[in-house]
Amino acid sequence: MHKIVFGVMLIVLIAGCAQNTDFNKALSGDVKQQPVQELVQDIETNATMDKDLQIEGSRDSKLESQSKRLHEYGIDCSHENEYGTRRSLAIDPQNSNILYIGIEGRGVYKTTDKGTSWEKIINGLVAYPDMSNKNELCFPDIAYIYIDPANTKRVLMVTSDITTAYVDWPYGETGGIWESLDGGESWKQMIKGKINVAGSGYLAVDPKNSRIMYYPVNPDLPTFKEAPIKESLNKISSVYKTVDGGITWEELNMPMLPALQAILISIDPKDSNHVVLFTQSHDHIYGENSITEIFLHKQYPIMESFDAGKTWTVSGDNLPDPYRAVFEGDVSGNNFGHMIVRLFLFGPEFPPETTKQKSFYSVDGGKTFEETSMFIWIARYNPHDMTANNMLGYSPWQGWVAESKDAGKTWQSIGIPPEVQSYKVKVENFVWDPKDSSAVYMSGTYGNIWQSIDGGKTWKNILNLDKLPK
């Protein structure tokens, strides 16, 4: 998200890949699971604001004053903002002319003509003003958008990269899960009560019953000064579940590690009791003016439940140490045994000049893993391929846009848009047209979306920051 630093230095130790150190430093921003903005937010560092707003009284009044302050003065929307799109690109399953995209800093956008024109749809969403331009709102990371196939007017949007918080706390009021019942024309917050709304970037909706959802969150400590609770809001897990469409949520009981975050959570379309999580965990050293992220050798790479989240098993020990911290991955909806993971090593223990980053694939549900023929940053399974062998991926050092026809074992470069060749723009997702197997969309940083009508061989840019409507 928008990384705000008011006179305070943040240290985040994330190292890179030996293939291209400079590019990996840029890519490392995508894997900072600890939200940077709120980590170093200290209201005493801006004397002018402090003179205007003297926070006194009860805990609630302090929170209210801080919220008022944020809405009045705004936040810095420019610092290291890459305008990421995460996994937010979504296509209406009943009308493939309709696409939605969420863009970090900018908000949510919709097209009804396959990207020829776009409209901004933010009515009801909460965001703080951009302090450099009070007429513009500064939105958090919009990590995932879900369209209900049974009622495509119902759209869910998940934010991420905010501090651990309840929805009625400062910063928390911009997080959570937002629901629209009119195709994005208006939004309302789905989360109510004492639920941590620091989403880790995903939402799993049961394909057989859309009232059942799993919501993974960032379980770190609240990191803004006025937080009335100075410990993690999550006691037994980092995943919530609802069975009534979001009216009530239960914090699931599962094995935990420091700051364990679900990178991906998926429900088996053939068996709703079967749920798979990819996770990574890291610890922190809290200094007076800095926070350092520490790599942990103990990881729970894959967590799996066969009883709808009541009990969980941990696997992934067959991945080679220390390659067990999952920062990206995918599971095939057509064959839940096919999965791919991208592991990431960071910190002073793994200098970028000598550290090799790796990705692995499995065709037996994670019982065994093999390294992919080229390093794959992100990959998605083609939903039109019932064998679950065809995939598209992004390999920034070796193949750019690449294709696998053997479930991730081998990869061949097939094409790359010119915007990506600069190393500035990074690919974040692939989404296929639900009705046309040759049509696929690719999204990335700086608000980019590309369209291909030949399965990914050639690409046309249909959205970027210059094309965004106000």
Residue 448 counted as domain residue: yes
pLDDT at 287 exceeding the cut of 80: no
Q: Is 176 helix (H, G, I), strand (E, B) or coil?
A: coil
Residue 22 has a pLDDT of 52
As a whole number of angstroms, the distance between CA 339 and CA 331 comes to 4
Q: Is the pLDDT of residue 35 over 50?
A: no
Helices (H) and strands (E) in the chain, counts: 4, 32
238 domain residue, yes or no: yes
* 200-214 pLDDT tens trace: 999 999 999 999 999
Asked if residue 4 belongs to a domain, the reply is no
Peptide bond into 322 cis (omega under 30): yes
DSSP per-residue codes, 386-426: TTS--EEEEETTTTEEEEESSTTSS-EEEE--TTGGGSSS-
Q: Is residue 2 part of a domain?
A: no
Structural domain count, the chain: 1
> 82 lies in a domain?
yes
Does 98 map to a domain? yes
* Structure token pair of residue 363: 């065709």
Q: Provide the pLDDT for residue 80.
A: 66
Provide the b/e sequence for 61-94 (b: ≥16 CB within 10 Å).
Answer: ebbbbbbebbeebbbbbeeebbbbbbbbbbbbee
Q: 313 pLDDT exceeds 50? A: yes
Calculate the alpha carbon distances from 304 to 11, 224, 263, 288 in Å. Answer: 33, 33, 13, 38
CATH number of domain containing 449: 2.130.10.10
pTM beyond 0.75 = yes
**Is there a domain that residue 1 lies in?**
no
pLDDT above 80: residue 25:
no
The mean per-residue pLDDT over the stretch 149-165 comes to 95
pLDDT at 53: 39
Answer whether residue 206 is part of any domain: yes
pLDDT digits (tens, 9 = 90+) for 64-101: 999 999 999 999 888 668 999 999 999 999 999 999 99
Q: Please, what is the end-to-end C-alpha distance for the chain in angstroms? A: 20
Structural domain span for residue 265: 21-467
